[in-house]
Structure 1
Amino acid sequence: MAHGHARPVLLGLIGSPIAHSASPAMHEAAAEALGLEAHYQLIDVPGADAAQLQSLLAALAPIGFAGVNVTYPYKEAVLPLLDGLSAGARAVGAVNTIVVRDGRLIGHNTDMTGFSRALVQAFGPRPEGPVALIGAGGVGKAVAVALAAFDGVEIRLVDANPAKAEAVAASLAGHAAIRVCRSLAAALDGARGVVNGTPVGMLPDRGTPVPAELLRPGMWVADAVYSPLWTPLLTDAARIGARTMTGRELAIHQALDAFALFTGREAPAEAMARAFDRVVAPPAG
């Protein structure tokens, strides 16, 4: 099959540090499974200010990008630099997927849609609450909006920066039972679910956002981090018999949704999952 004529679909990821990202493997494998060719470029820019981000984004269309993903620490910073936002991205106040259309940059949030689907797959159609949500940054906000869509789930938000948490709670007031907790212990007291939406536990960090003694066997525990797949938080949770969801599910589902937005084609879930596992959880031995 000659691939020589069609130009490869140019995709990428803006963030830092991103060397461990599974996104290039997932998107390139998905394209290949559909008979397309994709090139997914890691665009690792540490410490970029608004002006640097602006010039980087301005270059995407002329260079020929179909779209890019955005990760830590730029999911919120790109917001005012885009030409338009999906309703979801506006609700979340963060963007993890930018689609280039006719020279215009449109922001989407597939962390929100991806987390929602991953959660249902892992824990059933109505995840039990109350849910302690740690982190009110880019991922935490997407998780909050996703959880708000489930009927009657109380969200207890906790963040090292209480003002950030208050802002997220205020934006969801009227759409969700959400309250800000000043301490982890308060958020976890009587909670049925726990979600880590912070980078705590992501290598090289070996910490956990939740001291093991606050976890209970009846809880479900989800982590957005997938490097390592089994974070200290999830290891602690599994040890006491709590149900767990690794960052694998969110990573795959947000990528599936992003790929569909980039290409207009439905992404083959199997190909993406295999690619993720090849990169992140290679078989032992």
Structure 2
Amino acid sequence: MRDRFLTGLIGYPIAHSAAPAMHEQAAAVLGIHCHYQLIEVKGAGRDDLRAMLEGVRRLGFAGVNVTFPYKEAVVDLLDDLAPDARAIGAVNTIVVDGVRLVGHNTDATGFVRAIEPLLGSAPRGPIALIGAGGVGKAIAFALAGLGVAGIRIFDADAAKAAQLAGQLRDRHAVHATSVATAVDGAAGLVNATPVGMLPSRDTPVPDALLHSSMWVADAVYTPLWTPLLTAAKAKGASVLTGRDLAINASADAFKLFTGLAPSHVAMGNAFDAVMAARYSPPA
């Protein structure tokens, strides 16, 4: 059995990522070695991405994760796509299968497990999704698969929101023309944009639109308590930080890279240690 793995992450900015700690700790608990390399490249064009992926293919990587802003850009540079990634049109995990690069999407599977407990205890109603980029697409498909009452999608790029809504029109997804339209009467709200990720201290949704009868989830985890979640908590809303999505998505990627099921507890402990060293939750 293979006992050494080289994996990594392509994106920008990623210096804050907890992924190296999670993957390397999960491997240690299993008695194997994993080196998780951050490949931080700003403004990579198509040729740059192709060159990086060729390096992944040739340099002994088991695979790499992909994050903002490249989850959609890598799709047509790969040799094959898993069915979920093909449907979503975004990839966050690339597995080296021999000489082939195969794209997967563990954002979707990770989000399903993260959100199910919250959905189970919340009133049924439409969900507002802010952001139709790579992670937004995955979350939209995850929500649709869970059978939510409807999805209202807003993105600053109206064409992206309209395209995603069109992909899921048979699942009661619609393009919202404003944040206010998306949120009005929604049972839940998901931020799938990088707004609120440090160094940004902005919020994708004005505080006045938040209220106690909704739940609010944020895909951002740096910091865990984004301005959006802090405001939602102050309004009495149920909230979900990006912690569980990050851990679940990483665990699913680890299994794809290694063929081994990681300890979620070990990955969670590693994630929490990284967060504790950087951030403190609100009082």
Shorter chain as denominator, the TM-score bin is over 0.9
Aligned position for 1:280: 275
**Cα distance change on mapping 1:241 and 1:85 into 2, 3 Å:** same
Structure 2, unaligned runs of 5 or more: none
Separation in structure 2 between the aligned mates of residue 162 and residue 127 of structure 1, nearest angstrom = 29
Choose the corresponding residue for 1:191, options 181, 186, 193: 186
* Residue 234 of structure 2 corresponds to residue 239 of structure 1: yes
Per-residue deviation, 1:78: 0.3
Q: 1:256 aligns with which of 243, 246, 251?
A: 251
Task: Report the AA paired with residue 182 of structure 1.
Answer: T
Among 176, 179, 203, the alignment partner of 2:198 is 203
**1:228 matches 2:219:** no
Amino acid across the alignment from 1:265: L
2:20 is equivalent to residue 24 of structure 1: yes
Q: Deviations over 1:207-265 (max 9, x none)?
A: 00011110010101000000011000000011111000001111001001101111111
Query: Using the alignment, how far apart are the partners of 2:148 and 2:110 within structure 1?
Result: 20
Per the TM alignment, residue 126 of structure 1 is displaced from its structure 2 partner at its CA by 7.7
CA contact (8 A) 2:122 2:215 kept: no
Report the 3-state secondary structure (helix = DSSP H, G, I; strand = E; otherwise coil) of the residue aligned with 2:198: coil
The partner residue of 2:43 within 41, 47, 53 is 47
* Partner SS for 1:228: coil
Q: Does 1:103 align with 2:116?
A: no
Structure 1 residues 115 and 188, CA, compared in 2 at 3 Å: closer, same or farther? same
The one-letter code of the counterpart of 1:250 is: L
2:126–2:151: 8 Å Cα contact kept in structure 1? yes
Cα distance in 1, alignment partners of residues 264 and 78 from structure 2: 29
Q: Equivalents in 2 of 1:38, 1:215: separation in Å?
A: 42
> 1:7 and 1:143 mapped to 2: Cα distance?
33
Deviation at 1:9, TM superposition (A): 0.5
Query: Structure 1 runs of 4+ off > 6 angstroms?
Result: none
CA displacement at 1:123 relative to structure 2: 3.8
* 1:47-100 alpha-carbon deviations (Å, 9 max, x no partner): 111011001101112210000000000000000000000111011100000000
How does 1:143-182 map onto structure 2 within 5 Å? 143-174=139-170, 176-182=171-177
Amino acid at match of 2:213: G
What are structure 1's unaligned runs of at least 5 residues?
Answer: none
The CA deviation string for residues 26-46 of structure 1, in whole angstroms up to 9 with x for no partner, is: 000000010010000000011
Partners of 1:120 and 1:126 within 8 A in 2: no
Cα distance in 1 for partners of 2:250, 2:261 equals: 11
Aligned Cα root-mean-square deviation (Å) = 1.6
SS at match of 2:246: helix
Q: Could you tell me which residue of structure 2 aligns to residue 124 of structure 1?
A: 120
Taking structure 1 as reference, are residues 163 and 191 closer, same or farther at Cα in structure 2, changes over 3 Å only? same
The AA in structure 2 aligned to 1:42 is L
Letter in 1 for 2:15: A
Instruction: Give the TM-score, by structure 1 length.
Output: 0.95
Identity of aligned residues (%): 58
Closer/same/farther in 2, CA of residues 127 and 96 from structure 1, 3 Å limit: farther
Assess, with a 3 A threshold, how the Cα gap between structure 1 residues 199 and 265 changes in structure 2: closer, same or farther: same
Per-residue deviation, 1:6:
6.5
3-state SS, counterpart of residue 222 of structure 1: strand
Provide the C-alpha distance between the structure 1 equivalents of 2:57 and 2:157, rounded to a whole number of angstroms: 36
Say which SS state the counterpart of residue 62 (structure 2) adopts.
Answer: strand
